[in-house]
Amino acid sequence: MTAMAHEPLTQEEVLLEGFLALDTPEGFRAELIEGEIVVTPPPDGDHEKYISRIVRQVIKRSKTDMDFSGNKGLRLKSGEAYPTDYVIPDVTFAPVEVDLFGGAESWMPCDGVVMVLEVTSTKPQADREAKRRCHARGGIPLYLLADRDASQVTLFSDPEKGDYREHCTRPFGKPIALPEPFAFELDTAEFL
Protein backbone atom coordinates (compact mmCIF):
# COMPACT_ATOMS: atom_id res chain seq x y z
CA MET A 1 0.00 0.00 0.00
CA THR A 2 1.18 3.44 -0.82
CA ALA A 3 0.33 6.45 1.27
CA MET A 4 -1.76 9.06 -0.45
CA ALA A 5 -0.07 12.40 -0.77
CA HIS A 6 -1.96 15.29 0.79
CA GLU A 7 -2.19 18.53 -1.08
CA PRO A 8 -0.63 21.38 0.87
CA LEU A 9 -3.04 23.76 2.53
CA THR A 10 -3.49 27.18 1.00
CA GLN A 11 -2.59 30.27 2.99
CA GLU A 12 -6.32 30.99 3.45
CA GLU A 13 -6.95 27.45 4.79
CA VAL A 14 -4.06 27.73 7.25
CA LEU A 15 -5.33 31.13 8.42
CA LEU A 16 -8.88 29.82 8.83
CA GLU A 17 -7.73 26.73 10.76
CA GLY A 18 -5.65 28.91 13.09
CA PHE A 19 -8.52 31.34 13.56
CA LEU A 20 -11.09 28.64 14.35
CA ALA A 21 -8.68 27.04 16.85
CA LEU A 22 -8.13 30.27 18.81
CA ASP A 23 -8.95 30.17 22.51
CA THR A 24 -9.51 33.81 23.39
CA PRO A 25 -9.70 34.94 27.01
CA GLU A 26 -13.19 35.36 28.46
CA GLY A 27 -14.87 38.54 27.23
CA PHE A 28 -12.50 39.00 24.30
CA ARG A 29 -13.69 38.32 20.78
CA ALA A 30 -11.76 37.22 17.75
CA GLU A 31 -12.83 37.93 14.17
CA LEU A 32 -11.37 37.12 10.78
CA ILE A 33 -11.79 40.33 8.79
CA GLU A 34 -10.43 40.65 5.27
CA GLY A 35 -7.76 38.03 5.87
CA GLU A 36 -6.64 39.42 9.24
CA ILE A 37 -7.32 38.01 12.70
CA VAL A 38 -8.59 40.84 14.93
CA VAL A 39 -8.93 40.33 18.70
CA THR A 40 -10.71 42.99 20.76
CA PRO A 41 -10.97 43.32 24.54
CA PRO A 42 -14.26 43.53 26.46
CA PRO A 43 -16.11 46.80 25.78
CA ASP A 44 -16.40 49.68 28.22
CA GLY A 45 -19.67 50.72 29.86
CA ASP A 46 -20.38 53.62 27.49
CA HIS A 47 -20.11 51.25 24.52
CA GLU A 48 -22.77 49.04 26.10
CA LYS A 49 -24.95 52.08 26.94
CA TYR A 50 -25.13 53.05 23.26
CA ILE A 51 -26.09 49.49 22.32
CA SER A 52 -28.77 49.36 25.01
CA ARG A 53 -30.32 52.67 23.91
CA ILE A 54 -30.47 51.60 20.26
CA VAL A 55 -31.78 48.09 20.90
CA ARG A 56 -34.48 49.42 23.22
CA GLN A 57 -35.74 51.78 20.51
CA VAL A 58 -35.63 49.12 17.80
CA ILE A 59 -37.67 46.70 19.90
CA LYS A 60 -40.23 49.31 21.01
CA ARG A 61 -40.61 51.34 17.83
CA SER A 62 -40.03 49.10 14.81
CA LYS A 63 -42.94 48.50 12.48
CA THR A 64 -41.92 44.83 12.28
CA ASP A 65 -41.37 42.72 15.40
CA MET A 66 -37.58 42.41 15.69
CA ASP A 67 -35.41 39.77 17.23
CA PHE A 68 -31.78 40.56 18.09
CA SER A 69 -28.61 38.87 19.16
CA GLY A 70 -25.60 40.48 20.80
CA ASN A 71 -22.18 39.31 19.67
CA LYS A 72 -23.52 36.70 17.20
CA GLY A 73 -20.88 35.23 14.94
CA LEU A 74 -21.63 35.71 11.24
CA ARG A 75 -19.92 33.74 8.48
CA LEU A 76 -19.94 35.97 5.42
CA LYS A 77 -19.01 34.64 2.02
CA SER A 78 -17.19 37.53 0.53
CA GLY A 79 -15.17 37.10 -2.64
CA GLU A 80 -11.91 36.05 -4.17
CA ALA A 81 -9.52 38.17 -2.12
CA TYR A 82 -11.13 37.12 1.18
CA PRO A 83 -13.14 33.93 0.65
CA THR A 84 -14.91 34.09 4.02
CA ASP A 85 -15.09 36.71 6.74
CA TYR A 86 -16.00 35.78 10.31
CA VAL A 87 -17.38 38.86 12.03
CA ILE A 88 -19.16 39.48 15.31
CA PRO A 89 -21.33 42.60 15.13
CA ASP A 90 -22.28 44.26 18.40
CA VAL A 91 -25.93 43.51 17.53
CA THR A 92 -27.60 41.54 14.73
CA PHE A 93 -31.28 42.18 13.92
CA ALA A 94 -33.77 39.92 12.12
CA PRO A 95 -37.58 39.85 11.98
CA VAL A 96 -39.04 37.60 14.71
CA GLU A 97 -41.01 35.66 12.08
CA VAL A 98 -37.74 34.47 10.50
CA ASP A 99 -36.66 32.75 13.77
CA LEU A 100 -33.06 33.23 12.72
CA PHE A 101 -31.24 32.66 16.00
CA GLY A 102 -33.00 29.54 17.32
CA GLY A 103 -30.75 26.53 16.74
CA ALA A 104 -28.08 28.63 14.98
CA GLU A 105 -24.46 27.50 15.15
CA SER A 106 -21.72 29.67 16.68
CA TRP A 107 -20.89 31.00 13.22
CA MET A 108 -24.06 31.30 11.16
CA PRO A 109 -24.69 32.58 7.63
CA CYS A 110 -26.24 36.04 7.36
CA ASP A 111 -29.33 35.06 5.34
CA GLY A 112 -32.32 36.76 6.99
CA VAL A 113 -30.29 39.42 8.82
CA VAL A 114 -31.81 42.85 8.09
CA MET A 115 -29.38 45.08 10.00
CA VAL A 116 -26.20 44.93 12.02
CA LEU A 117 -25.11 47.51 14.57
CA GLU A 118 -21.58 48.47 15.49
CA VAL A 119 -20.53 50.97 18.15
CA THR A 120 -16.93 52.11 17.80
CA SER A 121 -14.52 50.96 20.46
CA THR A 122 -10.80 50.20 20.56
CA LYS A 123 -10.48 49.70 16.78
CA PRO A 124 -12.83 52.33 15.31
CA GLN A 125 -11.23 52.23 11.86
CA ALA A 126 -12.15 48.55 11.50
CA ASP A 127 -15.80 49.41 12.24
CA ARG A 128 -15.75 52.33 9.79
CA GLU A 129 -14.11 50.50 6.91
CA ALA A 130 -13.26 46.79 6.99
CA LYS A 131 -16.34 45.60 8.87
CA ARG A 132 -18.56 47.85 6.74
CA ARG A 133 -17.18 46.19 3.60
CA CYS A 134 -17.59 42.71 5.12
CA HIS A 135 -21.27 43.31 5.88
CA ALA A 136 -21.83 44.75 2.40
CA ARG A 137 -20.11 41.80 0.70
CA GLY A 138 -22.31 39.52 2.82
CA GLY A 139 -25.39 41.29 1.45
CA ILE A 140 -26.68 42.58 4.78
CA PRO A 141 -29.18 45.31 3.79
CA LEU A 142 -28.42 47.83 6.57
CA TYR A 143 -25.33 48.67 8.62
CA LEU A 144 -25.80 51.11 11.50
CA LEU A 145 -22.59 52.61 12.88
CA ALA A 146 -22.59 54.67 16.08
CA ASP A 147 -19.22 56.44 15.90
CA ARG A 148 -18.37 57.68 19.39
CA ASP A 149 -15.16 59.46 18.33
CA ALA A 150 -16.89 61.41 15.56
CA SER A 151 -20.09 61.92 17.64
CA GLN A 152 -22.27 60.76 14.77
CA VAL A 153 -24.41 57.88 13.61
CA THR A 154 -24.35 56.57 10.03
CA LEU A 155 -26.78 54.24 8.32
CA PHE A 156 -25.27 52.42 5.33
CA SER A 157 -27.64 50.80 2.84
CA ASP A 158 -27.90 49.31 -0.65
CA PRO A 159 -24.99 46.84 -0.61
CA GLU A 160 -23.42 46.19 -3.99
CA LYS A 161 -19.97 45.29 -5.32
CA GLY A 162 -18.30 45.02 -1.92
CA ASP A 163 -19.59 48.19 -0.26
CA TYR A 164 -22.72 50.14 0.52
CA ARG A 165 -23.82 52.55 -2.20
CA GLU A 166 -25.89 54.79 0.10
CA HIS A 167 -25.27 56.29 3.50
CA CYS A 168 -26.84 58.92 5.74
CA THR A 169 -24.88 60.49 8.59
CA ARG A 170 -26.40 62.52 11.41
CA PRO A 171 -24.64 64.12 14.39
CA PHE A 172 -25.51 62.79 17.82
CA GLY A 173 -28.59 64.63 19.02
CA LYS A 174 -30.30 64.50 15.61
CA PRO A 175 -32.62 61.61 14.63
CA ILE A 176 -31.78 59.24 11.80
CA ALA A 177 -34.46 57.49 9.77
CA LEU A 178 -34.37 53.70 9.71
CA PRO A 179 -36.23 52.33 6.65
CA GLU A 180 -38.51 49.29 6.40
CA PRO A 181 -38.75 46.90 8.13
CA PHE A 182 -37.99 49.28 11.02
CA ALA A 183 -39.78 52.40 9.71
CA PHE A 184 -39.03 54.89 12.50
CA GLU A 185 -36.60 57.67 13.39
CA LEU A 186 -33.89 56.58 15.80
CA ASP A 187 -33.44 59.22 18.52
CA THR A 188 -29.74 59.86 19.27
CA ALA A 189 -30.22 62.65 21.86
CA GLU A 190 -29.17 60.30 24.66
CA PHE A 191 -25.76 59.90 23.04
CA LEU A 192 -24.74 63.51 23.84
In the chain, what are the domains?
43-191 (3.90.1570.10)
Entry pTM: 0.91
Contacts 24+ apart (CB under 8 A), 155-162: 156/132, 159/135, 160/136, 162/78, 162/79, 162/133, 162/136, 162/137
Q: Which SS3 state, helix, strand or coil, does residue 45 take?
A: helix
What pLDDT was estimated at residue 28?
A: 93
Return the percent helix, strand and coil in the chain, to nearest 5: 25, 35, 40
Contact 32, 16 (CB under 8 A): yes
Positions of the chain with pLDDT under 50: 1
